[in-house]
Chains A and B, each alone.
Chain A
Amino acid sequence: MIRDAALVASKDLRLEWRGRVGLGQVLPFALLCVLLFAFALDPDRGVLQRATSGLFWMIVLFAAVLVVQRSFSVEGEDGVLDALRLSGLAPASVYLGKVAAIVVQLLALEALLLVAVAVLYDTTLRGWGLLLGTVLLATLGIAGAGATYGVVGLRLQGAETLLPLLLLPLLAPVLIGATRAGDVALGRSAGPGWPWAAMLGIFAVVYVSLGAILFRPLMEDL
């Protein structure tokens, strides 16, 4: 299963590298959001700084929708989904491979976004352990839920507009947990941050486990 998941992940990352959609469209979109929030809230610098964590994760969620859409749109082209069903790959392997590729893309995006946020929002990055744990667990949860709904979107008309409607409500707990943990890590909020990170971990495990189970029926004709 791990070998097959790695096969799918490397294929997805190669497709992304060739298409440059992440670099050419998703990253500029995310950076533009960072900039626009800075314009909108700059008159009150305090608000911008206090909301840094929440704004960061909102932007990540928006960008994640685009990454997930791209990840699955290539499977909808020219009968490739049927070919995947005909291949010997277990649906759970395909799912885990797609989750892994989305995680890699989102982590790269988040690293660049953190730099942009630090510069434009005048935020000092600290609490690195908690910050790193939050980023990893939240990203896994986002990718897990995203890959599950991504394959649903392949079967639906108007998937581009439906995907955010389906996905974002499901990710509300991730947004809350990641924002709270981020606030603690950045020193914006007192109190323990690791319980929030633990909550993110639970959601990540639940989303990925459910996705691995549900991917087989979701790949079939509905």
Chain B
Amino acid sequence: MAPAPVVHLRGAVALVDRFPALAGVDLDVGAGEVVLVRGANGAGKTTLLRTCAGLLPVTAGDATVLGVDLARTPAAVRRRVGLLGHATFLYADLTVSENVRFWARASGATQEDGRAALDRLGVPSRLHHLAVRSLSTGQRRRVSFATMVARRPELWLLDEPHAGLDAEGRDLVDGLVAEAAGSGATVLFASHELDRAERVAHRIVTLAGGVVQSDERDAGGRDAGLRSDW
């Protein structure tokens, strides 16, 4: 018997301000897959990621993530997923260390997990005691990513993960995604940087008007070179 998909959506509808931003999405994502979600602005990429995170209610259709029925108990899936959004999810007046420590403890991780994640994201220790407010956009993005990595989520939901990062940071993100998939986590990410994203992805799903327009399996991902570099 095939293992249950990590993400299972059938005719899933999610409303944003009464507008069906997801208008009947059909999608299955298996464990360890890296799926790029692409589409024009307003296609429903961010809504799809937020719905899978249990942040938006599913108003029609079937939606199961990590075995949790999103239509009935969306909150139950939240602590098992990691979402990197357009926002940083950080308190601007707290230092980098304080932010990571707070979010690590809030999600049941340890301070050591938080510190290790900061190191993994290449956040230098000289920044740890600076208020997030005084960091650059790219540095904030790395700290935000570190808070997510520290949670060790089973499903990574990344909305434009390369945005605001320099070339080294983008490579780092690609490596983290490959590493996460290698360790059994599932990654669903939206990006407009298609050249880079397509190299990392195993599948490419295109959204248009809140529905899946195409689903290309065996995309250009499984980049062996990328993974071995890591």
Contact = CB atoms under 8 A, between A and B. Distances in A.
A169 interface: no
Nearest to A87: B106
Contact of B102 (A11, A19, A82, A88): A11
Interface in B70-88: 75, 78-79, 81-83, 85-88
A79 B85 contact: yes
Interface string A10-38: 01001100110000000000000000000
Interface in B164-222: none
Interface residues of A, number: 22
Contacts of B89: 78-80, 82-83
B91 A74 contact: yes
Q: Counting chain B CB atoms within 10 Å of each CB, which of A15, A18, A74 scores highest?
A: A18
A86 B53 contact: yes
Contacts of A83: 89, 103, 147
A80 B91 contact: yes
A7 B85 contact: no
A83 B157 CA distance: 13
A221 B57 contact: yes
A7 B81 contact: no
Interface string A67-87: 000000010011110111111
A4 B108 CA distance: 10
A89 interface: yes
A14 B95 CA distance: 10
Nearest to A89: B106
A2 to B, nearest CB: 14
A83 B90 CA distance: 8
Interface in A48-101: 74, 77-80, 82-89
A82 B75 CA distance: 12
A14 B102 CA distance: 11
B116 interface: no
Interface in B84-116: 85-94, 98, 102-103, 105-108
A216 B82 CA distance: 20
Given A7-B105, A88-B106, A221-B55, A82 B94 contact: no
B131 interface: yes
Interface in B50-78: 53-57, 75, 78
A15 B99 CA distance: 11
B109 to A, nearest CB: 9
A88 B93 contact: no
A19 B131 CA distance: 11
Contact of A85 (B78, B86, B108, B147): B78
A212 to B, nearest CB: 16
Contacts of A14: 94, 98
A15 B93 contact: yes
Closest A-B pairs by Cβ, 3 of them:
A79-B87, A83-B89, A87-B106
9 contacts: A11-B91, A14-B98, A15-B93, A79-B86, A80-B89, A82-B83, A86-B81, A87-B106, A88-B106
Given A11-B98, A79-B87, A80-B91, 17 more contacts: A4-B106, A7-B102, A11-B91, A14-B98, A15-B91, A15-B94, A18-B94, A74-B93, A78-B90, A80-B89, A84-B106, A86-B53, A86-B54, A86-B55, A86-B83, A87-B78, A87-B103
